[in-house]
Amino acid sequence: MRYHLPKISAFSTICGCLLLFLLCVESSARPIPQRSARKAERLTPDETQEARRPPNGVPIIRLNKSRFVLGESVFFWVGVNAVSRDPIPKEYQKTCRLTITRPDGTTRTEPVGWPPDGPEDTGWLGGWGLSSNDTQPGRYTLVFEFAGQRTELVGLFVEDLPILKQIEAEFVFSRSGDGLAIPDGNVTLIVRNNSDQTLRFLQPDGFNSMVSVSLSKSDRSYRNDFFYPVESLPVGGNSPAITFDTFTWDVASRAPSITIRPGETYRREMPLRAALAEAAKGLSVHPGRYDVTFSTTLQILIGEKDGKWSEISPVRIPVSATAACVIAR
């Protein structure tokens, strides 16, 4: 508070100064409120220095291609690139988020979790994508954020092209007369090429081919998610170990691939019993009624390497099907 003092006698001045001195002493003797004390404890020099540690990483976004087709899985990479050999402090691990601006101008921000596997304090790169139920044709922009740092805007286009509607892919269960999946039957992957282009994708029994299976009870008392055992496929386990993230013409020339010419249909049968046996390795499967889901994403090359569709290849076509199944003793 600011005081405006008039001209007064020396005695009054001395008394006033003494009074102010006593007030200041009394004020300094008051206990610190509990809330202020807790705040002071949180801001100790050591902890303040800890919170100010540099993040030692920068956010990144990578696209294998910028043109996608409406109906395919829009896929890209996000991650954190380490800028030194120093560890990335744990307090920054919950600061990752992705902001997506759709063609209609609306924006959505999604938190991106730190990978649960691998070292916790190093850089990483992980696959991400757009929800297939939310995809619309047009231009999208992406921004990835880490520790308050943001990448530059990255753009991608989703196009409504008729050729994808000419490629049909599905899983078909062998079923009994009551519509239930037969445990001793097959789950067949069927791909029909109704286009005028040649299609290529990785052979389903290849080293990198992953068909996921989910087995669950309707009462939610049991759920098991796993990959279909490739050794149970007709030619399983004999493909060379070629590691790749994106199926390209170069990979197709080195790895066992399927080629479907215009008008042709491809079929691959997978015994359902092999999937049920694989589920029992992890969790006991008791008799009862279960829902079984087979799913995969086919990376399909359309046409030729330097052809009309090279910029949109590979297209990632999601394939999934669910059937009820009764498992007896």
Distance (Å, rounded) from C-alpha 259 to C-alpha 307?
Answer: 16
Is a pLDDT exceeding 60 seen at residue 190?
A: yes
Distance (Å, rounded) from C-alpha 187 to C-alpha 231?
Answer: 15
Confidence (pLDDT) at 48: 45
The SS3 assignment for 24 reads helix
Can you give 142-192 as a three-state secondary structure string?
A: EEEEECCEECCCEEEEEECCHHHHHEEEEEEECECCCCCECCCCEEEEEEE
Q: Which of 266, 242, 267, 261 is nearest to 252 (CA)?
A: 242
Partners of 174 in beta bridges: none
Element (DSSP H or E) covering residue 279: helix 272-282
Is a pLDDT exceeding 90 seen at residue 153?
A: yes
Distance (Å, rounded) from C-alpha 314 to C-alpha 295?
Answer: 18
Q: Which of 183, 206, 323, 194 is nearest to 254 (CA)?
A: 206
Is a pLDDT exceeding 90 seen at residue 166?
A: yes
- The torsion angles phi and psi of 169, rounded to 5 degrees, stand at -135, 135
Q: Mean pLDDT for the chain?
A: 82
Task: Give the start-to-end residue ranges of the domains of the chain.
Answer: 57-159, 162-327
Write out pLDDT tens, residues 140-149: 999 999 999 9
Confidence (pLDDT) at 230: 79
In this prediction, residue 47 has a pLDDT band, given cuts at 50, 70 and 90, of very low
Task: Name which of 8-17, 205-214, 245-254 the model is least confident about.
Answer: 8-17
Q: Amino acid identity of 71?
A: G
Is a pLDDT exceeding 70 seen at residue 55?
A: yes
What is the chain's Cα-based Rg?
A: 31
Write out pLDDT tens, residues 266-290: 999 999 999 999 998 877 888 899 9
User: Cα–Cα distances in Å, from 198 out to 70, 175, 265, 309?
Assistant: 20, 32, 12, 11
Task: Name which of 1-15, 71-85, 122-136, 151-165 the model is least confident about.
Answer: 1-15
Distance (Å, rounded) from C-alpha 232 to C-alpha 272?
Answer: 10
Partners of 173 in beta bridges: 187
Confidence (pLDDT) at 202: 87
Confidence (pLDDT) at 236: 47
Strand 167-173 and strand 186-193: pairing? antiparallel
Write out pLDDT tens, residues 194-237: 999 999 998 876 555 589 999 999 888 899 999 998 777 765 44
User: Cα–Cα distances in Å, from 25 out to 21, 221, 229?
Assistant: 6, 68, 80
User: Tell me, what DSSP letter sits at residue 182?
Assistant: P
Is a pLDDT exceeding 60 seen at residue 18?
A: no
Omega before 55 within 30 of 0, i.e. cis: no
Report pTM: 0.76
The topology under which CATH files domain 57-159 is Immunoglobulin-like (2.60.40)
The answer to whether the CB of 80 falls within 8 A of the CB of 103 is: no
Confidence (pLDDT) at 88: 93
Highest mean pLDDT among 23-32, 223-232, 302-311: 302-311
Confidence (pLDDT) at 96: 96
Confidence (pLDDT) at 240: 53
